[in-house]
């Protein structure tokens, strides 16, 4: 379809990843004219979720390799780099393509109910019931992210599920981590004496005065736990599961992490964590929606052909298709950065695996949403395992999606092998109590949060990192806020959006109420802030 976008904005946001989407929402919210575009046909960039069919086709990168053009008074930089692409290591089926003996033309519910022999054909047929995250995230119930969602009123767009149990790997088997008071007391894995010790320790981590940790400034959290005479098992629970630390984590950091965990208990459900229904990719869309509600213009699937700068390297505009669009500020995701100015000396990677499995890693009467914190062993880093069932809206009934990830040291297969081998059947067709892997996907994703992303060379230009290893979105929010405050230093960051009941009168949509207006006007330019809209008279 042929159309032109408006050609003048306060800010252009390129890419619909998490950080970009938060900045877009925040700018729109204070009345700035925002153009938010993406060269992909989907929302989320490296933070997106895909159905089964489309994840098998995700491009490893978006390449166009034109060169820097020097025009009179202006420089046009090409868009995109291949430095921060996903690196796909393998994507494999572990089930037959089809089952010729059976009639495959069954309805979805029949597929879910029957005692099934899963085939590739069957799974692909219900491909859209899958929402597979490239960067799965959990949310601390009292963390920065949840607080921001609530304070900005974005929370109403999304639905969440509580993580229903937290597991760890201890003495060769999966154990439920007792994380709340009632868990601790009902656990039969913890002796009465241990219960008292654990409660006492958790209490002193939360309420402990400075003296409690005196002398531990340079020491590890593990040494503190040992000095408190905790048993081996308790140290394991606290160190690896509750605090999510390594043996080397310093005491005060361990205490902070314990507090982060305990502080989120009891707000929404049994564990401190929430997961966004239909996948983590929904979250970027919620921020984009807020941006649109406040007048942000959205255009996916755009061919971006260049970033325009003047001779002083000040941002002027972009070339989108054949159109030139001007703006004062440019915010972009790092994979859209011109190759010429990327500093990629220190890119770290995250090793990720995604599996579709036929049952839970720890079967129970009801479906669980499980977080397994797999401890570090033999110089292998700790792995995070997230198992999602059909109640999360990310996979069909009877199946699970399992995400496994860790900091990359070698490659995804090698980094995760020790953990994967313990949880799943080793060979195809082997039947024991472990779940079988029906489909597997190993890839590396860049972790760019620790990377320097200032482009000092280019003025009025701000770069957003991709997904990191944090369980929650805290670092993304912090980065978005930083960018927002550098652009609009005195403005409020995502103040609460009004509820429908609080908005009395419409302004801009008036021409839409009467059908004589043939087309929706080219809206964006004159959308003031909401407070001025509220003052208009209702003339319908």
Partner 1 sequence: MANRTSAAQRPNGSTQGKICQFKLVLLGESAVGKSSLVLRFVKGQFHEYQESTIGAAFLTQTVCLDDTTVKFEIWDTAGQERYHSLAPMYYRGAQAAIVVYDITNQDTFARAKTWVKELQRQASPNIVIALAGNKQDLANKRMVEYEEAQAHAEENGLLFMETSAKTAMNVNDIFLAIAKKLPKNEQTTGPGGSGQGRRLVEGDSGAKAAGNCCK
Residues that bind partner 1 (CB under 8 A): 1, 3, 5, 43, 128-129, 146, 149-151, 153, 155-162, 266-269, 274, 277-278, 282, 285-286, 288-290, 292-294, 297-301, 390-391, 393, 397, 497-501, 503-509, 512-520, 523, 530, 533, 538, 540
Please tell me the distance from the alpha carbon of residue 22 to that of residue 359, in angstroms, as a whole number.
Answer: 36
Beta carbon of residue 182, minimum distance to partner 1 (angstroms, whole number): 15
Nearer of residues 426 and 496 to partner 1, judged by Cβ: 496
Which two structure tokens, joined as six digits, stand for 345? 């000396």
Shortest Cβ 384–partner 1 spacing (Å): 22
In angstroms, give the least distance from the CB of 71 to partner 1: 28
Question: Based on CB atoms, which residue is closest to partner 1, 289 or 336?
Answer: 289
Q: In this complex, which beta carbon is closest to partner 1, that of residue 413 or of residue 506?
A: 506
Q: How far apart are CA 21 and CA 27, in angstroms?
A: 10
Distant-in-sequence, close-in-space partners of 84: CB < 8 Å, separation ≥ 6 = 46, 334, 335, 344, 347, 446, 448, 466
- Rounded to whole angstroms, the maximal C-alpha distance in the chain is 79
Give the start-end residues of each E strand in 315-375: 315-320, 323-333, 348-357, 370-374
Query: Residue 129 or residue 329: which is nearer to partner 1 going by CB?
Result: 129
Residue 167 three-state SS: strand
Phi/psi at 35 (5° precision): -110, 125
Closer residue to partner 1 in complex, CB, 129/316: 129
User: Smallest distance from the beta carbon of 285 to partner 1, in angstroms?
Assistant: 4
In the DSSP assignment, the letter for residue 300 is: -
Inter-residue contact 201 to 238 (CB < 8 Å): yes
Q: 9: number of CA atoms within 13 Å, CB side? A: 32
In angstroms, give the least distance from the CB of 521 to partner 1.
9
Among residues 253 and 538, whose Cβ is nearest to partner 1? 538
The DSSP-derived string for 33-94 is -EEEE-SSSSS-GGG-EE-HHHHTT--S--------EEETTEEEEPP--STT--EEEEEEE-
Shortest reach from residue 472's CB to partner 1, in Å:
14
Nearer to partner 1, 2 or 72 (CB): 2
The helix/strand/coil state of 509 is: coil
At its nearest, how many Å lie between partner 1 and the CB of residue 185? 20
Using DSSP, state whether 445 is helix, strand or coil.
strand
Smallest gap from Cβ 536 to partner 1, in A, equals 9
**Which is closer to partner 1, CB of 433 or CB of 515?**
515
Q: How far apart are the first and last CA of the chain?
A: 33
- In whole angstroms, give the CA distance from residue 270 to residue 183: 9
Closest separation between CB of residue 361 and partner 1, Å? 21
Whichever of 377 and 523 has its CB closer to partner 1, that residue is 523
Q: Is residue 531 packed enough to be buried (19+ CB in 10 Å), middle (13-18) or exposed (0-12)?
A: exposed
Q: What's the Cα-to-Cα distance from 98 to each of 95, 119, 123, rounded to whole Å? A: 8, 5, 10
Q: How far is the CB of 68 from partner 1 (least distance, A)?
A: 28
Q: Which is nearer to partner 1, 173 or 532 (CB)?
A: 532
Chain centre to alpha carbon of residue 411: 21
């Amino acid at each position: 379809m042929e159309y032109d976008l408006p050609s003048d904005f306060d800010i252009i946001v390129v890419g619909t990843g998490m950080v970009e989407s938060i900045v877009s929402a925040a700018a729109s919210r204070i009345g700035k004219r925002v153009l938010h575009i993406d060269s992909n046909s989907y929302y989320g960039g490296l933070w997106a979720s895909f159905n089964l069919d489309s994840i098998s086709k995700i491009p490893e990168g978006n390449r166009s390799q034109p060169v820097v053009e020097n025009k009179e008074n202006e420089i046009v930089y090409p868009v995109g780099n291949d430095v921060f692409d996903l690196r796909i290591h393998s994507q494999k089926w572990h089930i037959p393509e089809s089952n010729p003996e059976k009639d495959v033309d069954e309805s979805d519910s029949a597929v879910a109910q029957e005692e099934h022999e899963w085939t590739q054909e069957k799974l692909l047929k219900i491909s859209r019931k899958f929402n597979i995250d490239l960067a799965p995230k959990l949310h601390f119930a009292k963390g920065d992210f949840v607080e921001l969602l609530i304070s900005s009123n974005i929370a109403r767009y999304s639905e969440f599920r509580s993580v229903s149990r937290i597991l760890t790997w201890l003495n060769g088997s999966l154990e439920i981590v007792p994380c709340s008071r009632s868990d601790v007391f009902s656990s039969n894995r913890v002796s009465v004496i241990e219960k008292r010790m654990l409660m006492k320790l958790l209490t002193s981590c939360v309420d402990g005065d400075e003296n409690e940790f005196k002398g531990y400034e340079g020491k590890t959290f593990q040494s503190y736990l040992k000095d408190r005479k905790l048993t081996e098992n308790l140290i394991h629970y606290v160190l690896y599961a509750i605090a999510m630390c390594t043996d080397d984590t310093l005491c005060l950091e361990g205490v902070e992490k314990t507090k982060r965990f305990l502080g989120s208990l009891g707000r929404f459900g049994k564990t401190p964590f929430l997961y966004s229904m239909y996948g983590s990719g929904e979250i970027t869309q919620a921020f984009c929606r807020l941006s649109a509600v406040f007048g942000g213009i959205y255009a996916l699937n755009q061919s971006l052909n260049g970033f325009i700068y003047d001779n002083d390297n000040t941002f002027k505009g972009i070339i989108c298709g054949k159109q030139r669009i001007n703006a004062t500020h440019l915010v972009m995701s790092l994979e859209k950065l011109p190759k010429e100015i990327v500093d990629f000396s220190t890119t770290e990677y995250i090793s990720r695996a995604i599996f579709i499995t036929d049952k839970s890693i720890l079967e129970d009467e009801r479906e669980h949403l499980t977080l397994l914190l797999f401890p570090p062993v033999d110089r292998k880093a700790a792995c995070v395992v997230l198992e999602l069932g059909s109640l999360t809206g990310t996979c069909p009934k009877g199946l699970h999606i399992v995400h496994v990830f860790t900091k990359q040291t070698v490659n995804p297969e090698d980094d995760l092998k020790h953990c994967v081998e313990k949880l799943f059947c080793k060979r195809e067709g082997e039947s024991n109590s472990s779940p079988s892997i029906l489909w597997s996907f190993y890839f590396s994703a860049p972790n760019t949060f620790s990377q320097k992303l200032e482009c000092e060379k280019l003025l009025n230009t701000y770069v957003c990192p991709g997904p990191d290893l944090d369980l929650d979105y805290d670092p993304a929010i912090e980065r978005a806020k930083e960018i927002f405050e550098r652009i609009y230093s005195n403005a409020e960051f995502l103040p609460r959006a009004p509820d429908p009941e609080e908005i009395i009168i419409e302004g801009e949509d008036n021409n839409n109420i009467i059908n004589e207006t043939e087309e929706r006007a080219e809206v964006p330019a004159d959308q003031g802030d909401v407070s001025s809209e509220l003052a208009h008279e209702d003339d319908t």
